[in-house]
Structures are given as structure tokens and as C-alpha cells.
Amino acid sequence: MSKRIGIEVSIAVADAVGLCDVDVVAAYPITPQTHIVEHLSELVADGHLNAEFVPVESEHSAMSACIGSAAAGARTFTSTCSQGYALMSELCYIASALRLPIVMAVANRAISAPINIWNDHADLMYARDTGWIQLIAENGQEAVDLSIAAFRIAEDKKILLPVQVNLDGFTLSHFIEPLTMPEQADVKKFLPAYKPALRLDPDKPVTFGPVGMPDIYTEARKAQDENLKASKPIIQEIFNGFAKQFGRQYKLVETYKTEDAETIIVGMGSIAQTAMTAIDGMRAQGKKVGMARVRVFRPFPAKELIDAIKGAKNLVLLDRVTAFAGGEVSGPVALEIKSALYDRKLTPKVGNFLVGLGGRDITIQNFEEMVERVASAKDGELPAYEFINVRE
């Protein structure tokens, strides 16, 4: 029987990766991801985890080592964030194109400058177009559960793509939360031993990563994109399988009090916890507010999200990243949603807010202000995006 314990989320994520019987961990420490990697190196050094821990000299080398390791057929894990992610990013495109099921935890952190080690989603959005599957945790339990589900998703024969597990830096990574650690035996049942479809093998040589000239590059990209498209229903099936094994059900999009909501807040990650508290308060005042939370950003679950928000008159779309879009189009999360609304000829009133940048707290009052701002705005009054909680 699994026990409920109090544990720092980073340590719990590392323990969860250990439960997944990972073969290789190649990572470089960076705040606020450090404790994940540190604890994995302890598990290996103390003999609790039978894996190779590769202490590389940079994140670029970390992903290079992961690509080699995954290509050799090993279950592979790494973790990074922010500047570290930026340094490894060119290899990330290659990991997905070579269809290597690497799992990476990203303790989301702002990108410099100004130098800032605190939480926002700049690295998550930086990774958006790399062809990885992106999962986003709301709390410690979810960070643990998604870390385990991530291996199952990555290694599914019909998917075979690398997976990012995003958890908000500090807000999640450094908090001690009550959570249930899965049992090793249950993880074994849920996550079978990894059998690579193709691997580097001297007895049966293959070439990974050949040149793709103009006559094949388009086909290679199309094949990869079709694969990511096909992954969406399989991810949900795997979440359903997870629920059967561990009793916790996850969906691509999670909803809170959306059924009769006139205003729906859409966001990702730990911000949803404050949002739900704010919603309870607004509901107590008779305001019909709800929330839809995107748990999987790539592949983007447009259908599931639209099903959740289509009844709302007002949308409060949150981007935890600076848009740098020039003021006339929205931030990245809002862009996806507006595009999905347009495709379905839906025209609710939309406000896009840039919130929680570089570790700035988002308060219950902020949520009330955003909801009020959209609800009371006249047609055409709302800009493509605006900063919230900014000193004038």
C-alpha cells in the first residue's frame, strides 16, 4: 500500500525516475533543477539505482550523451531549465527527429536578461517547436505521476518521441508537499522493460541521423509531425492506464467549475492552484467563473480545450512568458487558443495576460482583476496582450 509522505518535489521526481529503472542519467546542474539531478546522483552513488550517471560539462553535452545513450537502447533521463535548456536546445530537435524516447524534467525558470533564477514558462515556450511532447504539472503529485507516465508515453511503439515534464521552478521544485509515492511493483506493472525498436548494435549496424536532402527532408518532417499528431489519443489512453494502476486520473485538459461559467480562465502549471482558490471566492460572490488547465501543450489538445471553454462569454488567457509579439498578436498560449476558436467560428471576448514573470507572485486579487477586466471590457477594448501586476 502506497504511503502518503511529505517530501520536496524535486526529490520525489528523482525518486520517481529511480522507480522507473532508468539506465542512464546525463545532466548538468542548474537552479532550480539542481536537487533532481543531485538526488539521482546520490541514488546511483549509494547503490539504490543501477544506472550510469554521466556528470557532463554542459547541457549541450548532457543532451548529446542522452542521444547516444537512447540510440544505444538505454532508458534515458535528463533535467534542466532556462539557460541550460537554451544551451541544449539544438540537440533537442535532433532527439525528436531521431525518435529517441528520452525523458527530461524541466524545472521551469525565466530566461535572462535580467538574470533571474525564478519561475516562468520562457523555457517551456522555447521548447515548443522542438517536436517533443510537453507535459505540465500543477502540483507535486502530478510532477511525480507525469514523470512515470512520461517514460510510458515516450516508449510507446506508436509514439517513440522524447517527453518533457515541466514543473514550475521553486513553486513546485523546492516545495515540500504531501504526496503518494508509487510502489516499485506497481511501476513495474505500468511501465514494462524498454525494448528499443532500433538501436546502435555492432552486430546489426544502423545509421542514425543521416543527411536529408531536399528530396527527403519534407517527407521526414511530415512523418515526424504525423507521429506527434497520432500521439494525442495514445497519451490519454496511457493516462487512463495510469489511473487503473495508481488510482489517479489525468486528462489532456483539466476543468474546474466550467459547466455554467460565463468567464473561463485558461492557464498551465501551478498557477491553477491559486486560480481555483480565486474562483471559489468569486463563486461565493455569485460570479460564474471557471478554469481550464492545459496539461499537455504539445501535441496541443485544441478539441478538448474548446469543448471545455466553448460555453463561455469571456476568456482570460494566461501566458507565463513575455510575448515579444509587437503588441498586435497574442502570447503563445493565447495564440493557440485564438487559432482554435477561429477554426470553429467562436468569438468570445478574449483577454490575454502576461503573468507571473520571473517569479512574480500571482495573487487571488490579480485573478479577480483579470476576470473583471475582460467581463467589463467593451468590444475592441482589450489589447492583443497586456502585462498584469506591473508598476506604472
Partner 1 sequence: MAKETGIKSWKELTLGIAITNPGNAAELKTGDWRSMRPETNREKCTKCGQCYIFCPDMVYAKDAEGYYAQNYYWCKGCGICAKECPVDAITMIQEVD
The binding site for partner 1 (CB under 8 A) comprises: 97-100, 160, 197-198, 205-210, 212-213, 215-216, 218-220, 222-223, 226
Comparing CB distances to partner 1, the nearer of 159 and 384 is: 159
Query: Quick check: helix, strand or coil at residue 141?
Result: helix
User: With contact defined as beta carbons under 8 Å apart, do 70 and 95 qualify?
Assistant: yes
Comparing CB distances to partner 1, the nearer of 154 and 264 is: 154
State how beta strands 103-108 and 24-27 pair: unpaired
Comparing CB distances to partner 1, the nearer of 185 and 213 is: 213
Q: Which amino acid is at 389?
A: N
Measure Cα distances from 184 to 24, 138, 144, 230 in Å: 18, 23, 13, 30
Comparing CB distances to partner 1, the nearer of 201 and 361 is: 201
CB of 230 vs partner 1, minimal distance in Å: 12
Comparing CB distances to partner 1, the nearer of 72 and 181 is: 72
State how beta strands 163-168 and 103-108 pair: parallel
CB of 132 vs partner 1, minimal distance in Å: 14
User: With contact defined as beta carbons under 8 Å apart, do 268 and 136 qualify?
Assistant: yes
b (16+ CB within 10 A) / e for 147-177: bbbbbbbbbbeebbbbbbbbbbbbbbbbeeb
State the cell numbers at 136: 505540465
CA angle 85, 124, 322 (to 5 degrees): 105
DSSP symbol at 129:
G
Query: Quick check: helix, strand or coil at residue 168?
Result: strand
Comparing CB distances to partner 1, the nearer of 176 and 216 is: 216
CB of 131 vs partner 1, minimal distance in Å: 11
State how beta strands 176-180 and 4-8 pair: antiparallel
Comparing CB distances to partner 1, the nearer of 210 and 326 is: 210
State the cell numbers at 317: 488567457
CB of 70 vs partner 1, minimal distance in Å: 11
Comparing CB distances to partner 1, the nearer of 220 and 390 is: 220
Residue 176 bridge partners (DSSP):
8
User: With contact defined as beta carbons under 8 Å apart, do 191 and 162 qualify?
Assistant: no
The rounded distance, in Å, linking the Cα atoms of 227 and 222 is: 8
Residue among 183, 142, 130 nearest 166 (CA): 142
CB of 153 vs partner 1, minimal distance in Å: 17
Cα-trace Rg, the chain: 21
CB of 137 vs partner 1, minimal distance in Å: 28
Comparing CB distances to partner 1, the nearer of 214 and 326 is: 214
Residue among 32, 11, 91 nearest 58 (CA): 91
Q: Hey, how many other C-beta atoms are within 10 angstroms of the C-beta on 357?
A: 22
CB of 200 vs partner 1, minimal distance in Å: 10
Side-chain-side CA neighbours of residue 117 (13 Å): 9
CB of 58 vs partner 1, minimal distance in Å: 25
**Sign of CA pseudo-dihedral 370, 309, 333, 337:** negative
Comparing CB distances to partner 1, the nearer of 211 and 284 is: 211
